[in-house]
Amino acid sequence: MSGKKRRSEMETRPTIGPRHSPGRETIPQKPTTHEIEAAFGESLPDVVGPECSILFCGINPGLYTAATRTHFGRPGNRFWPALHLSGLTPRLFAPWEQHDLPGLGLGITNLVPWATRTAQELTKNQIQAGFIQLKKLVREMEPEWLAVLGLTTFREAMGRKDIREGILDESWGSTRIWVLPNPSGLNAHLTLEGLAKSFNSLRVAAGLPKRA
């Protein structure tokens, strides 16, 4: 399949298959280099259920994450350790245990569902299409908080250069928005302790108990 065709297919959110992933996932095998490269353009279903207190929103899946079908699945990503250190999960969850999150009032989605090597590969059309679908999802699920993990691309999607980390000065219906750092291991300016502190502040604001 040509790169031009794949790019065209990625301009709109996929309609084949459920948007919300049902059931649990087993421990995935480590993907091969070929499988990782082949994951370009693949989508990853959301993990979200009713009565969602915090819906975490990444920018878009990386190739490793898409290849393993697990959100924030690449080794070195600090999302799962920060969840535990903040008390949002009772123990350190592995990425393939992602479907245990809705039972804790947590969920995961992405601004753009299609996998790329880096977020810089996303087009403006993809970002805007994803943003429209994200707002629809928030209206449908009505989480108490939308926790955006990453600043630069969200600024572009919102058309606001003034957005900073912390509570956003606007809401989508009854859903408030909290902007958090990108948990990727490539974010050299972020420490695990700093991310866990931000997650803990969000946990307190959401009124969730400290589970760890």
Query: pLDDT, tens digit, for every residue of 18-64?
Result: 334 444 556 768 899 999 999 999 999 999 999 999 999 999 999 99
d(CA 149, CA 165): 9
Q: Over the stretch 59-92, which tens digit does the pLDDT of each residue have?
A: 999 999 999 999 999 998 999 999 999 999 999 9
Look up residue 123 and give its two tokens: 């087009």
Q: Mean pLDDT over residues 114-132, rounded?
A: 93
Tally helices (H) and strands (E) across the chain.
7, 5
Residues in the chain: 212
Contact 170, 203 (CB under 8 A): no
Domain locations in the chain as residue ranges: 45-206
Q: Mean pLDDT over residues 147-153, rounded?
A: 92
3-state SS, residue 145: strand
Q: For CA atoms 44, 193, 205, 162, give the dihedral sign.
A: negative
Q: Which of 95, 96, 64 is nearest to 80 (CA)?
A: 95
Contact 81, 196 (CB under 8 A): yes
More reliable by pLDDT, 184 or 77: 77
CATH class of 45-206: alpha beta
